[in-house]
Structure 1
Amino acid sequence: MAAVVPIVGAIGLWLVTGSILSLWLAALGPLIAVATLADAARSARRDRRLHHADATRVQAEVAQAVARRHDEERRRAWARHPDVASFLARDDEVWRRSPDRDDVLVIGEGEIASDVRITGGEGDARAIALRARSSRLSHAPVIASLHAGVVVVGNAVIAAAVQRALVIQLCLALPPGDLAIVGPLTDGLAWMEALPHRVVGAPRRLAVVLSGETVPSEADIVIACSAPGDPLPPQCGTVITARSPDSATVERGGEVSEVSVEALAVEQAAAVAAMLAERAERVLGLRVRDSGPVTLADLAAPVDLAAVDASRSGLAAVIGLEGREPAVVDLVADGPHAVVAGVTGSGKSELLITWILALCRTRSTREVTFLLADFKGGTAFDSLARVPHVTGVITDLDGAGARRAIESLRAEVRWREGELAAAGARDILDPRVALPRLVVVVDEFAALLGDHPELHAVFADVAARGRALGIHLVLGTQRAAGVIRDSLLANCPLRISLRVTDAADSRSLLGTDEAALLPGGAEGRGHALLRRAGDARPRPVRVALSGPSDIDAAAARGGDERPRRPWLPGLPPRLSLAELAELSPTAVNGEVLLLGLADEPHLQRQRAATLRIEDRGLLVLGGPGAGLTNAVALAAAQAPSAVMRIPAAPEPMWDAIATLAAEPPPPGSLVCIDDLDAVAMRLPPDYAQVAIERIEELVRRAGSDGVLILASAHRLAGAVARIADLFPKRLLLPFPTRTEHIAAGGDPAAFVPGAPPGRGVLDGTALQVALAPRLPSLAPDPSPDWCPSAPLTAFATRRSPAARAALDEWERRGVRSVSVDGYAADPAVTADGPVVVVGEPDDWQRHWRLLADARGDHDLVVDTSCAAEFRLLTGARTLPPYCESGRGRAWLISAGGDAVRIVLPSAEVRPNRPRAWP
């Protein structure tokens, strides 16, 4: 409007005045408008300059405030989460308890989210950048969850240096009571041996793993390093890829960030470890490196056990050091029974050996004896074999050894009860009773119960009655919870625990978790916790080690008197008949047959197992190589009267069975049948059925006939199982599997894997069958070839090389042969000497009159190739003697008599002179 009004006014004046000069006034409007715009633009530029200067000043002030707040926030962050450099800069921060450090680990220096926030400045790029910059804090500690695990990936030098820095940082943050380093330390980690965290247990267990090593299962925290491309440990959730200390990448929870990491050389890490070790000894009284293992020889000399056990009625022994004083335990005063727990490698076997030797070197065999059971390989107590106090060692290598030893232990309980009753005493402390105390030591009680769970009740009974009888149990096990029942554990107040992996085992045995916190590896070996019945809490003990000199001292202390053995040695794997005869002189006179050495641990004796004719029968069962044939041969070698053995070959077998069926053996005879179950397999079905029936009848008549039947078999199936039920006695020799043992009628609990040949069970008693004497083997007399001697012999056979060979041989001996058809056409051929009329079964059936005459009045020979037509050709109703096919056998029926077996000649046929069939 300011530009238009002057123009309208100028035009109006011109129209009124007509003066052309009035039109110049129209130019004032545009000039005023232009001047107004120019002035407005100049004012806007001036205002923008002022506002920009104000914004720059304010942003600078805000940036300075953000920097100050970031510095303060960074300082607080490094104070909450220091790295190695921060710890070493402030000595008072080492092992300072802080909830911010319990579960985190500083993995490097980088950019993290800031607590600083800025508002305002919308639309201003510099303000937006400042807001973004203020929300991130640079050069701050980048932390990760401690329990998620960390793995450093890089070349061997940089990865190991970063790993060392992380381990040192963790050891600077957490004291030994809060952190324990577990697992073996390889050469690259040897510097860690100086750390005090290797000495004591703690709730947090750290495993430091080099590339390619396995993470220990007991570790809660893992710091590992890995070569590029190698598989990462699954226990590590944070991955640091280190290219150099100033250039590294951290991946955690799917987020990737750049950091600079700390790295320590081996010398630097070793120096910090030595500083921490010195600090632990000064502040905590904890010695990182002890003076080495304690030896029993050094402890036993200065200890006056008489002061501890003045009456000598106890069983006090020094087993190690309790602080700087000898650790003394007394099985009588602190027991009467004890449990020793510890994982593999913790020193449990060494503790048991030390305990045994500590008792043996201060007492004679009249005061204490030992029965040892090793169920962790069979070698733990080998070094104690020459100590006279040790009456026996049971191992898991002898499957039946545990059972028989425990049976002997039951007998020992009964024997001691009888001794106390005879003396009128109530317990072993009565001076009228002169019995040594018996200590039963079991190494790996859980393995013993795993093989023989029924023995837990035996140990519980011995534990309940052992105090009065002088029997003490020391049970070693890897874990107590779930293995030793409360009824048994209640009678074992003396408890010693080396390191265990499960806190429940520690609580079950000691009432605390301390045994699960003991260090592992070589440094923790021999460190134990001892709790007696009167102790309020477990007491730490360093177990002493024993050596050859301690064994010599114990052996010398035993004296000349050998102690009474509470159990007999196991049955020998081999036993000769002569050795067995010394135990039963009556057998030499032929009154009984010696069978083997019977083991009766419940009576604490071993005797000769015998067999009499009046026993009627004995069936020996077992697997391949179990000694069945030896058992049969052993009885046969001692038979006072006739011995009849059923041969294994089919033809003699049939003949022997047929003879026994036709003519019963005389009274007092011994009939031996080896491989009874093979009889049916070696004969055809029809012969096998008859043979089995005859054997069954023979066994049924054994009592009335006054004979003894001794048979062996591998399996009971079919008709053999029916015969087996007729034997009054059954001897079970070893079987390959438990299933076969049970199928033969054996007790499942009595199965012993890997039993030696001849080890068996007779009437519920274990025995070792003696070896049969070697007898010269007699080869059977070969049957002579049969040759026709009658004027006329009918020969039924099939065309075969064997038949032609027999005819050739007969012809060589002067016996002619003609066919059936030839003889039917000219019967006068017999006038010139013996003739064999030969033909196939079909040929003879066509000339049935001739066949009838031959089998009624002459000799009829039927080849085994015609066995299927034997009854048709001979008209016989009974089976002929068994003949093996393909061996030149035939049956001969002379003038209608019974069939007998004959052997056909087997002369070779010349290949250049083939013989034509008659």
Structure 2
Amino acid sequence: MPLPLTTEPAVDADGPLTLPDAPRAIPRPAIPWLASAVPVAGALAFWAFTGSAFALWFALLGPLIAVAGVVDGARTARRERRAETTRADEVRGRVAARVAARHDAEREALEARHPDVRGHVRRPDAVWRGADSADLLVLGRGELDSTLRVTASGDDPADLAIVRAARRIPDAPVTASCAEGIAIVGPPVLTRAVARALVLQAACVAAPGRLEIAADVAGEESWVADLPQTRMPAPCRLAWMTADAPTDGHARLVEARPGQPLPPGCTHVIELTAPTRARLAGPGRSVEIEVEAVSRAQAAVIATGLLARRAPADAVEAVPLLALRPPVRERERRGLPCAIGMAGAAPAVIDLVADGPHAIVTGTTGSGKSELLVSWVLALAARFTTADVCFLLADFKGGAAFDALRDVPHVTGVITDLDGGGARRAIESLRAEVRRRERVLAAAGARDVADVELPRLVVVVDEFAALREAHPQFDALFADLTARGRALGVHVILGTQRAAGVFRDALLTNCGLRVSLRTNDPHDSAAVVGVPDAADLPGGPDGRGLALVRRAADARPQRVRIALSDASDVAAACMGAGERPPAPWAPPLPPRITRDEIAAAGLVLGLRDEPERQRRTPWTLGDADRTLLVIGDAGVGKSTLVRTVAAQSARPLWIGPDAEHAWDALCAAMLHPPAPDTIVLLDDLDALIARFPDEYGRAAVAAVERLVREAPALRIRVVATVQRLAGVARVADLFAGRVLLRIGERAEWLAAGGRADDHDRDAAPGRGVIAGTAVQVAVCADAPETPPRAEPPLWQPTGALSGYVAPRYERAAVTRWERAGVRVRAVDAEGDPAGAVPGQPVVLVGDPEQWLARPRQLERVRATGELVVDVACARDLRLLTGDRDVPPYAHAGRGRAWRYGADAPVRRVAVAPSIP
């Protein structure tokens, strides 16, 4: 049975190629031992039966059959090997053909993207279309790396040859950046011919205004003066010179003789080895190339053709807007016509309403896009009053484009950069303006803004691509504005450097008026005005302000020279314009505001921003707002809000940061609920709770919880501030209102209940959010400070017998008592503690162990006198006093103690005065 042949694998048209597996080795045929043994056995059996020696001759057939079988098997194996090899060669040949076809396709793509002079002559439409590779020149044709890869499973030399050949594209254009410097080394005649080709290629790739060509050899090559790139300055400059000419720091194309030193900056060196052959040496490569050479006569013809491509209209002088300005203002409710420039000898008049109702303006950097937008706004402002049209300007490339228009009465606002909150505010405000206009039209029973006294609003955006990239949510807003804006009198002018991928189809459909200044990519021009001609507009000063304008009804765009404005046009727009119309939204919240600046009655906390209603309103603490929690970092205005509330409250109960004062106030509030209309103020509640030991902390949290829960029933208010929710999360959930001031960490902002879009790590102090609404806390000049810390009374023994428990009693206290006539003795001293002097107070002192070792003395003091226990002995307090209740909180280390007596409940005292 023959072995299976290797078949050609399925190959993707653009995927990798795989060579067939090596033919399988055909094994040698085996000797047919069994077939050879049968004749021998038969002959022996026949001889044994007959006894005839003649029968033994048949045994010779066995070896003959064996030899014949081996010969036949070898012949069959050779035939199968030849067939397998032939089929593998056929598959290998088809793979090689595919490699050649793929290389041809890659070569054609490279030639289309980087044509040399011959390619530009054959394809005139490719001239000045090098948008993404304007500085790349084809230095010659040679081998390049290919993206194609062929895999082989074996090490067959033929397979390996195809694998190696697939990695390189023969006869492909080899490119290099002219900005890196190019040197041509060889005989002067040959180097000059190659240099001509490279200069002409640069002139065909880069349009005037993008590349300037300067030639030190212009005296010998007079045709260079006809190149458009020599007549217009540009950001990039290519200097054609010899090796001995001085350099000026720009990109250079240098001619040099063999052995002549090259000036610095020549990264790529073309060394001519034959009239059309050379070796290219550059960073990381050395390759043989076939160079292109152009004669002087050929260069003159090509240069003349390039010069003829410049349209005569491109050289028209700039048009002042003053020459197109109407002598008087007109009243026109149905449209917004104005002249923005000159179309030949006639003014170019466009009507944003009739030709739009929305417009798109594109143009690369330096083409005059911002000047066009400014002139358009001033032309409309000079013709119409503020009762007819108003503008909202947005610039997202630095904010300087519309600086000259800020004082024009028609301009209601200039937006520069927007953060997350500002972007959302702008969206909500514009949507609110749309709803307001809908209400006005509905109330008047009108269907168009021309039927009511409502000015048209023109929203002008410079750099819409930057706005959309930073805030994608604006897509839906502008799609809605362009869809509904005509009847509502809202018109949009969107400017951008590029159009591809920036405008959605729904947006383009509603923007009937299109203006394209010079673009880098013909696709941008075609996407806006329907033809790629805007990519052919010249650059530099001569081409600045030259545009193609296409109205909704135009079959082809019109060439227009845009008018330029100056300060006189701004003055004309302001004169007789009327009063400035109200802005489509209220100004943003100020970074600081005082209580006196807010005209409102009641308890004012600050100012509230409501862009969805186009207003700012006072932020007050109403009757329904019984509990309010303020969360924020340190120094962001939490204490300012507390002081603002305290300054306006008739009954403030300020529970300050001192733990002893806070404990007393909370205990008092639990025993005697605050009177109605009391405002309980808890500043830095989380820090206060953290100061208490566990038992006190739990009791304090329970007290605050009770106040918050019972606030509506008691008709009191509770305002608390925290920096973090850790430790007070259960209490925080009980507050009906929550204000979020600045929180640096986004995760903590979200954990506090804030929305991701509202987070601003750089918010001004006092800026916060409540229920999704931005607020600014007001400052009160006469706000009270934090309540002073109250010192406990200094304890002085007065009874006949007192006890003082301390691990190490205060020597100053003992001295003070002794000076007051008090006898101080150790609790473990022998004898009667009452002493020998009648009426003299006695204080027994000792540590907890000494007192517990004298239970009779301890019981006597507790029953008849005063027992003062130092705070340092809090661990043994219950054993010493027998009291299970928690005593008043006392600061450790400040000379604090608890006084237990039969005549009064336990209270906090000081055993040493003025201890900080």
TM-score (norm 1): 0.70
Q: Are the aligned partners of 1:151 and 1:223 in contact in 2 as well (CA < 8 Å)?
A: no
Partner of 1:180 in structure 2?
A: 207
Mapped pair 1:624 → 2:646: no
Mapped pair 1:575 → 2:585: no
Cα pair distance change 1:659/1:674, threshold 3 Å: same
Secondary structure of 2:835's match? Answer: helix
Distance of 1:654 and 1:169 partners within structure 2: 92
Cα pair distance change 1:338/1:96, threshold 3 Å: closer
Mapped pair 1:899 → 2:906: yes
Q: CA deviation at 1:365?
A: 0.9
Q: Are the aligned partners of 1:809 and 1:907 in contact in 2 as well (CA < 8 Å)?
A: no
Q: CA deviation at 1:682?
A: 1.9
Letter in 2 for 1:762: I
Q: CA deviation at 1:278?
A: 7.6
> For the aligned residues, what is the CA RMSD?
4.8
Partner of 1:115 in structure 2?
A: none
Cα pair distance change 1:364/1:594, threshold 3 Å: same
Partner of 2:165 in structure 1?
A: none
Partner of 2:851 in structure 1?
A: 844
- Within 5 Å, give how 1:324-403 maps onto structure 2: 325-397=346-418, 399-403=420-424
Mapped pair 1:460 → 2:479: yes
Letter in 2 for 1:899: V
Distance of 1:539 and 1:261 partners within structure 2: 40
Q: Are the aligned partners of 2:396 and 2:462 in contact in 1 as well (CA < 8 Å)?
A: yes
Q: Of 290, 296, 299, which residue of structure 1 is paired with 2:321?
A: 296
- For structure 2, the 5+ residue unaligned runs are 1-116, 131-135, 141-170, 219-223, 241-246, 273-277
Letter in 2 for 1:759: R
Mapped pair 1:771 → 2:779: yes
Q: State, as a whole percentage, how many aligned pairs show the same letter.
A: 45
Partner of 1:239 in structure 2?
A: 269
- Within 5 Å, give how 1:288-687 maps onto structure 2: 290=315, 293-297=318-322, 299-301=323-325, 313-323=334-344, 325-397=346-418, 399-430=420-451, 433-501=452-520, 504-516=523-535, 525-559=544-578, 561-580=579-598, 582=599, 584=600, 587=601, 592-639=602-649, 641-687=650-696
Q: Are the aligned partners of 1:184 and 1:521 in contact in 2 as well (CA < 8 Å)?
A: no
Cα pair distance change 1:273/1:708, threshold 3 Å: farther
1:811-833 per-residue CA deviation (whole Å, 9 max, x = no partner) reads: 33332321111156655367472
Q: Are the aligned partners of 1:618 and 1:731 in contact in 2 as well (CA < 8 Å)?
A: yes
Q: Are the aligned partners of 1:163 and 1:223 in contact in 2 as well (CA < 8 Å)?
A: no
Q: CA deviation at 1:259?
A: 13
Distance of 2:513 and 2:310 partners within structure 1: 28
Cα pair distance change 1:558/1:820, threshold 3 Å: same
Q: CA deviation at 1:685?
A: 2.1
TM-score (norm 2): 0.70
Count of matched residue pairs = 739
Distance of 1:447 and 1:152 partners within structure 2: 31
Distance of 1:446 and 1:256 partners within structure 2: 43
Distance of 1:371 and 1:593 partners within structure 2: 36
Distance of 1:446 and 1:188 partners within structure 2: 39
Partner of 1:170 in structure 2?
A: 198
Cα pair distance change 1:507/1:744, threshold 3 Å: farther
Partner of 2:770 in structure 1?
A: 762
Cα pair distance change 1:907/1:506, threshold 3 Å: closer
Q: Larger C-alpha radius of gyration, 1 or 2?
A: 1
Q: Are the aligned partners of 2:865 and 2:902 in contact in 1 as well (CA < 8 Å)?
A: yes
Q: CA deviation at 1:854?
A: 1.8
Distance of 2:503 and 2:637 partners within structure 1: 40
Q: CA deviation at 1:349?
A: 2.6
Distance of 1:416 and 1:786 partners within structure 2: 76
Q: CA deviation at 1:371?
A: 1.5
Q: CA deviation at 1:181?
A: 6.0
Cα pair distance change 1:904/1:346, threshold 3 Å: farther
Distance of 1:256 and 1:147 partners within structure 2: 12
Cα pair distance change 1:378/1:664, threshold 3 Å: farther
Q: CA deviation at 1:693?
A: 1.1
Distance of 2:248 and 2:860 partners within structure 1: 96
Mapped pair 1:855 → 2:862: yes
Q: Which moved more, 1:855-864 or 1:355-364?
A: 855-864
Partner of 1:726 in structure 2?
A: 734
Distance of 1:260 and 1:763 partners within structure 2: 72
Distance of 1:165 and 1:499 partners within structure 2: 33
Distance of 2:365 and 2:892 partners within structure 1: 65
Distance of 1:489 and 1:558 partners within structure 2: 33
Letter in 2 for 1:606: R
1:564-614 per-residue CA deviation (whole Å, 9 max, x = no partner) reads: 43322222222221221x2x2xx2xxxx31122223233333322221344
Letter in 1 for 2:670: A
Q: Of 854, 862, 866, which residue of structure 1 is paired with 2:873?
A: 866
Q: Are the aligned partners of 2:362 and 2:499 in contact in 1 as well (CA < 8 Å)?
A: yes
Q: Are the aligned partners of 2:459 and 2:492 in contact in 1 as well (CA < 8 Å)?
A: yes
Q: Are the aligned partners of 1:392 and 1:569 in contact in 2 as well (CA < 8 Å)?
A: no
Q: Are the aligned partners of 1:627 and 1:758 in contact in 2 as well (CA < 8 Å)?
A: yes
Partner of 1:196 in structure 2?
A: 228
1:857-887 per-residue CA deviation (whole Å, 9 max, x = no partner) reads: 2111111222222222222212211122111
1:243-301 per-residue CA deviation (whole Å, 9 max, x = no partner) reads: xxxxx9742795578999999xxxxx9xx9999988755x445469846654433x424
Cα pair distance change 1:318/1:844, threshold 3 Å: same
1:110-130 per-residue CA deviation (whole Å, 9 max, x = no partner) reads: xxxxxxxxxxxxxxxxxxxxx
Distance of 2:239 and 2:864 partners within structure 1: 101
Distance of 2:568 and 2:834 partners within structure 1: 105
Q: CA deviation at 1:726?
A: 1.4
Secondary structure of 2:779's match? Answer: coil
Partner of 1:709 in structure 2?
A: 718
Distance of 1:441 and 1:449 partners within structure 2: 14
Q: Are the aligned partners of 2:825 and 2:844 in contact in 1 as well (CA < 8 Å)?
A: yes
Q: Of 800, 807, 831, which residue of structure 2 is paired with 1:791?
A: 800
Cα pair distance change 1:633/1:206, threshold 3 Å: closer
Distance of 1:480 and 1:349 partners within structure 2: 16
Q: Of 805, 809, 819, which residue of structure 1 is paired with 2:812?
A: 805
Cα pair distance change 1:474/1:289, threshold 3 Å: closer
Letter in 2 for 1:664: P
